[in-house]
Amino acid sequence: MSKLKIQGKELRALGYPEGPVISIAMNVMEKNFKHHSKEKAFDILKEVLQSPHDYVADETLGPIAKQLLPKAPPSEGLGEAVSLNQSGIQFNVFGQEHIEEGAMHQMYQAAKLPISVAGALMPDAHSGYGLPIGGVLATENAVIPYGVGVDIGCRMCLSVFDIDPKELTQKENYFTRELLEATLFGSGQQFDQAEDHEVMENELFFQLPLLKNLHGRAWKQLGSSGSGNHFVEFGIVEIDEKDKVLGIEPGNYVGLLSHSGSRALGANIANHYTKIAISKRRLPAEAKNLAWLSLDEEEGIEYWNAMNLAGDYASACHHVIHDKIAKQVGRQPLKMVENHHNFAWKEQWEGRDLIVHRKGATPAGKDVLGIIPGSMTAPGFIVKGKGEAASVNSASHGAGRKMSRTKAMESVTDKQFKEELQKHNVKLLGGGLDESPFAYKDIEVVMQSQKALVEVVGKFTPKIVKMDGAKHQGWKKKGRDEVMGE
């Protein structure tokens, strides 16, 4: 097989901007993916271009992703120089033996910010951008855009239907078709026909120039699901005993579980206000992406309002999907459980009003319900928070990655992947090696590490899983044919 050779003009045709990223991308791909076909290499490059934040911590593709991230505007030198506190605040770490050093280092940096008051690191933590994924940080009157994350309002939503789980096997084609027709996957994907939802009438869309320019695209993406680790899946919900907060009788049910965020709307808000934050506050290089906006200044108020709108939009995306499927199955859910995990909240902590950032962390205040998923073959859990101050009322948002996307693609074979799916009787629509179960930590170990933070009140086992996947592009128009294998 001939070695991979990529030309700069080919990268520009993919949408790569003029600059150092062209030569860096060529070198990285030709060195590390030299035996890949050009088509496969371009698929990887397109994914990095569309979602650079997903790859910034990747040991192979990280140098490309970093070149694609927002840079501070030229006015950065005019901003306020900020020094870090050398000691930093104390923070608790849950499941430390399973957390990589990179995530620990990022949390130590966040703890040194002069605005930091309290923090915690969840057992699913791994390196992110700015605050680590799985990082919780409470601040005084300030919000950190990259402490919230790029996919603002990324969230879980579970609908529990009073349907016998045996039907997932008996009518597999029917439930598969409903997943295929209910939403769209893939970066940049838009519907031909926009959905109707009151969130699109929010006055901020018409007041802030940034949001005004994003309104049309956001409307076309309403009810879509994105790429990466986002999914919509049917599975079995098991309730062993009735919990007064959850309110579902013991038994087995069909569950519809979705995971996605605010799409292009949230990403644009995050990048826009991060640039402003970096320009206003000059932090040491290693902490640069923890730049914050004060809630006393205009930009901080703007970001806060835009962030909340993105959260409402993300919620609306889930509700559009769940409403479509509820209508098709002819049942209203017995219960819907949902929660954000890339967001910031105004909360009271030890008698103080603070801003609590949970980047890849689930709210776990006293009796607050949430969903903590495993992987496409591992169970997820319906949980009830215990209101533990040591974790700043937080828990993990999932199992957490133990392999980067590149490492997963290099170390997991198609045969291993298929055998794992068969072992657990999971039907996968889309998805790739980068999201295989082997790329994730053991959810049972993660849950054991946070038993002081949440109480398990139900279990969800995935059975039919829809994710993004190049082999499934175009299913929007031929969903029924794809189900039948035609």
pLDDT of residue 342: 96
37 and 159 assigned to the same domain:
no
170 and 24 assigned to the same domain:
no
172 and 294 assigned to the same domain:
yes
**Given a cut of 60, is residue 471 above it in pLDDT?**
no
Query: 36 is in which domain, residue-wise?
Result: 8-50
45 and 163 assigned to the same domain:
no
Residue 196 lies in a domain: yes
pLDDT of residue 406: 86
Q: How confident is the model at residue 323 (pLDDT cuts 50, 70, 90)?
A: very high
pLDDT of residue 72: 56
241 and 381 assigned to the same domain:
yes
Residue 58 lies in a domain: no
Q: CB pairs under 8 A, 24+ apart, for 64-73?
A: 64/21, 64/24, 64/25, 64/28, 67/19, 67/20, 67/21, 67/24, 67/25, 68/17, 68/21, 69/129, 70/271, 70/274, 70/275, 71/275, 72/275, 72/278, 72/279, 72/288, 73/275, 73/279
Q: What is the mean pLDDT of residues 34-58?
A: 83
Residue 103 lies in a domain: no
41 and 170 assigned to the same domain:
no
Residue 96 lies in a domain: no
* Number of structural domains in the chain: 2
Residue 25 lies in a domain: yes
159 and 301 assigned to the same domain:
yes
30 and 179 assigned to the same domain:
no
166 and 45 assigned to the same domain:
no
Q: Select from 33, 50, 67 the last residue of a domain.
A: 50
304 and 425 assigned to the same domain:
yes
Q: What is the mean pLDDT of residues 438-462?
A: 97
Where is average pLDDT lowest: 60-74, 138-152, 353-367? 60-74
Residue 341 lies in a domain: no
Residue 93 lies in a domain: no
Residue 131 lies in a domain: no
294 and 423 assigned to the same domain:
yes
Residue for token pair 């101050």: 389
**Given a cut of 60, is residue 48 above it in pLDDT?**
yes
Q: What is the mean pLDDT of residues 63-85?
A: 74
Q: How confident is the model at residue 55 (pLDDT cuts 50, 70, 90)?
A: confident
Q: What is the mean pLDDT of residues 289-313?
A: 96
Question: Can you give the CATH number for the domain in which 209 is found?
Answer: 3.90.1860.10
**Given a cut of 60, is residue 73 above it in pLDDT?**
no
Q: How confident is the model at residue 255 (pLDDT cuts 50, 70, 90)?
A: very high
Convert the pLDDT of each residue in 362-398 to its tens digit: 999 999 999 999 999 999 999 999 999 999 999 999 9
